[in-house]
Every structure is written in structure tokens, then in C-alpha cells.
């Protein structure tokens, strides 16, 4: 069973000007990543705008990515929905599409107890034969996966890891400590990738890898080669573009920057578009000043 490691770009979902899935440009992005040093692909995450896509569109994205990858890289897909039944249904569709693992964000909007959260994840895990990756992003969902929940779920056979996007490094440390560093922990915050690896984690799901896939992948590759100073230079080097995420909805900023680099991935779905007249000069200047030689 696939166990997540390394750098997985949280790939954006290309759209046409009228906000429909642009499947050919999605496939172009996949072909682009296949020529890089990344270790897998992660579709339908936050950067993939899962929250504005229908079930049918999500299945379309999964199928296109799996078909284009054609076994050359592992594929993870976000399937988390508000209800357990919807999540199970989409997880089963992901398995049928051929993904290697599903990422399951916590239910959102309504309050969920730890016991209910454990039951939710166990139900999803028991419904499929592929890996299940827990996804913690409490700022977006209002639901935090506690270390106690991780401790209980880490022993479920096909729950194969957790992606933490809380931005709180202590949360990552707690997950590692409570599982004896035997359970894969990936950083969903690009600023913490190297430090997660140094603490015993296995990698990161990175939005900035849409921009600089080789460089971000090399944080992991150089770490594994024990070239820590070189890995740290890249890790520190993403600070200017990370600071730009404050301009607006962070994944909208990333998608706009991908466009400015010359890759046609189209708009984000409204109402999550940005003030591009303000963003573009700032992003263009940052990309030219700091990343001229990246990728």
C-alpha cells in the first residue's frame, strides 16, 4: 500500500474563462510535473479548489490526472466532504479511478467531537482498499485533529498518514511524538517542510511546488542526501513568495502566480478571485527578483 513521502505538489485545477474544468490544460500540468523531481501528485486539495467543485467535476479531475500520469507517479486525491456518506462515496470513486491514496479533510461547518471524527475516518478507511491520509486544516474547517485522535487512527491498517496545514509546528511535533515517529506526517505548510523532515516527518504537500516543482522537491532530496544547508537555503528562499499569500485567498494567489509564470491555468471560481490589478505588479516583481533562476 502506498505510503506518502517526499514532495507532492498540491496541483491547481485549470479552468476556462467561463470557470469550467479545462481538462487539456490539467493534463499539460501533469505532463509538466512528470518531467520534474517531485515524488507524487496531490489533486483536489485546497489549491485544487475542491471546495467549489461538484462531485462529477472531482471525478473528472481524478480520472484525468491518473490517466495522464499512467503509473509514473503516485496520485493522491482529496475526497473529504461534510458528511461521512458523501466522503465514502467519493473515496470509492477515487479508488475506481485508480488513485493511490485519498486525502480526507475533516468535516467542516458543524462541530464534530473526537469520537465522531474517529468514527468518520474509520468508516472511510473501511470503505476502500487504498490508503487514507488525514488532512488537518482547522483555520479553514473549524475542526482540529487532536493528537489523541491521531494516536487512535494511526493503528487503522489503511490510514497511512496525516497532512497538517495548521501552520503550528507544535501540532506536527505532537503527531510525531504520540505515534513514536512511526506514522507518516507531512507538512501542508510550505514553510515547515524541512523542519518537519528534521523532526521525523516524511515530506510535504506543497502549493508553491506549482511554481517551482524541482526546487521544492529538492528540499526533500537534499535532506535525504544530508545536505541540510543546501536544503535550508531553498526552504528559506520561498519566504518572499509565501509572504505574497497575504494579498488575498492564498490558493488564489498561487494560481495567479502560476499564470504569471506562463502556464495557462485560468481563473479561480468566483467569488474567490483576487484584485489582480494590485496583485500582478507585486507578484511579477517578486518572481523576477527572487526566482529568476528557479526551475
Residue with cell 515517529: 181
Residue with cell 484584485: 275
User: From CA 167, how far away is CA 238, in angstroms rounded?
Assistant: 15
Q: Is 20 a catalytic residue?
A: no
User: From CA 66, how far away is CA 217, in angstroms rounded?
Assistant: 20
Tell which residue, 114, 49, 59, has the closest CA to residue 86: 59
Q: Is 288 a catalytic residue?
A: no
Helix-helix angle 213-224:228-237, to 10 degrees: 150
> Looking at the DSSP assignment, which residues form a beta bridge with residue 43?
77
Q: Which of 58, 63, 121, 135 is catalytic?
A: 135
Q: Which of 58, 63, 152, 163 is catalytic?
A: 163
Degrees, nearest 5: CA angle 242-243-244 = 90
Q: Are the beta carbons of 193 and 38 closer than 8 angstroms?
A: no
User: From CA 133, how far away is CA 160, in angstroms rounded?
Assistant: 6
Q: Are the beta carbons of 202 and 175 closer than 8 angstroms?
A: no
Give the active site residues. Answer: 135, 163
Amino acid at each position: 500500500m502506498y505510503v506518502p513521502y517526499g514532495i507532492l505538489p498540491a496541483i491547481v485545477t485549470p479552468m476556462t474563462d467561463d470557470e469550467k474544468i479545462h481538462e487539456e490544460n490539467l493534463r499539460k500540468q501533469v505532463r509538466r510535473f512528470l518531467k520534474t523531481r517531485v515524488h507524487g501528485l496531490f489533486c483536489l486539495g485546497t489549491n485544487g479548489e475542491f471546495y467549489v467543485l461538484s462531485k462529477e467535476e472531482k471525478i473528472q479531475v481524478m480520472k484525468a490526472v491518473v490517466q495522464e500520469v499512467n503509473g509514473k507517479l503516485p496520485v493522491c486525491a482529496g475526497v473529504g466532504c461534510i458528511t461521512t456518506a458523501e466522503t465514502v462515496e467519493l473515496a470509492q470513486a477515487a479508488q475506481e479511478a485508480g488513485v493511490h491514496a485519498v486525502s480526507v479533510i475533516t468535516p467542516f461547518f458543524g462541530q464534530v467531537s473526537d469520537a465522531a471524527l474517529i468514527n468518520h475516518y474509520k468508516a472511510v478507511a473501511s470503505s476502500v482498499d487504498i490508503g487514507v491520509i488525514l488532512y488537518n486544516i482547522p483555520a479553514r474547517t473549524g475542526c482540529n485533529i487532536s493528537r489523541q485522535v491521531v494516536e487512535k487512527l494511526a493503528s487503522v491498517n489503511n490510514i497511512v498518514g496525516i497532512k497538517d496545514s495548521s501552520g503550528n509546528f507544535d501540532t506536527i511535533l505532537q503527531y510525531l511524538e504520540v505515534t513514536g515517529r512511526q506514522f507518516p506526517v507531512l507538512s501542508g505548510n510550505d514553510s515547515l517542510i524541512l523542519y518537519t523532515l528534521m523532526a521525523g516527518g516524511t515530506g510535504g504537500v506543497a502549493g508553491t511546488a506549482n511554481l517551482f516543482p524541482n526546487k521544492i522537491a529538492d528540499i526533500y532530496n537534499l535532506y535525504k542526501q544530508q545536505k541540510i544547508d543546501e536544503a535550508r537555503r531553498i526552504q528559506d528562499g520561498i519566504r518572499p513568495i509565501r509572504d505574497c499569500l497575504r494579498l488575498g485567498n492564498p490558493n488564489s494567489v498561487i494560481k495567479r502566480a502560476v499564470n504569471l509564470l506562463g502556464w495557462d491555468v485560468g481563473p479561480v471560481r468566483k467569488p474567490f478571485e483576487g484584485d489582480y490589478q494590485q496583485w500582478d505588479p507585486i507578484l511579477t516583481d517578486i518572481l523576477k527578483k527572487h526566482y529568476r533562476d528557479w526551475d
